[in-house]
Amino acid sequence: MRSVLIFDSGVGGLSVYQEIRALLPHEHYVYAFDNAAFPYGELEESVLIARTSKIVSQLVQKHSVDLVVIACNTASTIVLPTLRTQLDIPVVGVVPAIKPAAALSQKKVIGLLATPATVKRRYTQELIAEFAKDCEVLMIGSTRLVEIAEQKLRGELVSVAEIQEILSPWLERVDGIVLGCTHFPLIKNEIQQAFSTPVQIIDSGKAIANRVKALLGESDSKSKSVKANITYNSAASHHEAALNIFLIELGLSPIKNLNLPHF
């Protein structure tokens, strides 16, 4: 049995955890989210690197982690080089699924739905230039959709009308949407409902799961995990009770606090 750490600034990485666990159900999982600094897209790069490196390194040592997944597009474009020099285990990041979306599009007009930080990154522009040369790529950077996804997992109602308003520039235009934030698969159904015509919605969750499986290799155990999967956060929340219900349904523990010193 191997231990896999999945890290995000919020609960969006749970969409990645679900894909990985579906493919590798017998491994041990640690899910950690740095909600004290949420959302990561608003942090200075030096602060983001420092926080991520500290939390991830601490948990890798504590749980003898075999592989780390940085389940955050913003963090992946910034902290992976640092983490890979600090750790002697594989570190997997996430990137927007521009390439498959461009290949599937019939209209050759696709939408990239991400955070404002991801939309602005040069890395994102390079992905578009390399893999979507024949497409018009429309972009929306929305922090509000991240908040809606967080609220959904805490038991609050989601307004499809509000999502439709955010996506209004794309209605009737795109035939494919790239979910460029790991929070967005959590509201995939609501995003689909915002469109009156069918639209393909593509995220990188399954690709990440396949990459994790390739790096870990075949499991040496077909029995169920004897270690309880664990959830950590970096700050107490008033909404933990509702979120804990969802975490237990996913096979994770109720939230434990990291008790990090201030930094």
List 181, 186, 201, 258, catalytic entry: 181
Residue 40 annotated as part of some ligand binding site: yes
Cβ atoms 162, 195 nearer than 8 A? no
Residue 8 annotated as part of some ligand binding site: yes
DSSP 129-193: HHH-TTSEEEEEE-HHHHHHHHHHHTTPPP-HHHHHHHTGGGTTT-SEEEE-STTGGGGHHHHHH
Residues 97 and 147: their CA atoms lie apart, in Å, by 22
Amino acid identity of residue 16, one-letter, is V
Q: What is the pTM of this model?
A: 0.88
- Chain centroid to CA 164: how far? 22
Q: Which domains does the chain have, with CATH numbers?
A: 3-94+206-257 (3.40.50.1860), 98-203 (3.40.50.1860)
Q: What pLDDT score was predicted for residue 38? A: 81
Residues 97 and 146: their CA atoms lie apart, in Å, by 18
Q: Which two tokens stand for residue 72?
A: 């955050």
Residue 41 annotated as part of some ligand binding site: yes
Cβ atoms 92, 13 nearer than 8 A? no
List 72, 91, 167, 212, catalytic entry: 72
- The pLDDT tens digits for 200-228 are 999 999 999 999 999 998 766 555 556 89
Q: What pLDDT score was predicted for residue 263? A: 47
Q: What pLDDT score was predicted for residue 223? A: 53
Q: What pLDDT score was predicted for residue 240? A: 80
CA angle, corner 148, sides to 9 and 41, nearest 5?
35
**Model confidence at 105: pLDDT above 60:** yes
Strands 109-114 and 176-179: parallel
Position of tokens 């008033």? 238
Distance in Å from the first CA to the final CA of the chain: 34
The arithmetic mean of pLDDT across residues 17-39, rounded, is: 92
Residues 67 and 216: their CA atoms lie apart, in Å, by 8
92 forms beta bridges with 69
Eight-state DSSP code of residue 260: P
Residue 9 annotated as part of some ligand binding site: yes
Q: What pLDDT score was predicted for residue 197? A: 85
Residues 86 and 34: their CA atoms lie apart, in Å, by 19
Residues 69 and 80: their CA atoms lie apart, in Å, by 10
Known catalytic residue at 135: no
Within 10 Å of residue 225's Cβ, how many Cβ atoms? 17
Q: What pLDDT score was predicted for residue 261? A: 58
**Model confidence at 61: pLDDT above 70:** yes
Q: Which phi and psi angles does 5 have, rounded to 5°? A: -100, 125
Q: Which two tokens stand for residue 174?
A: 């795109």
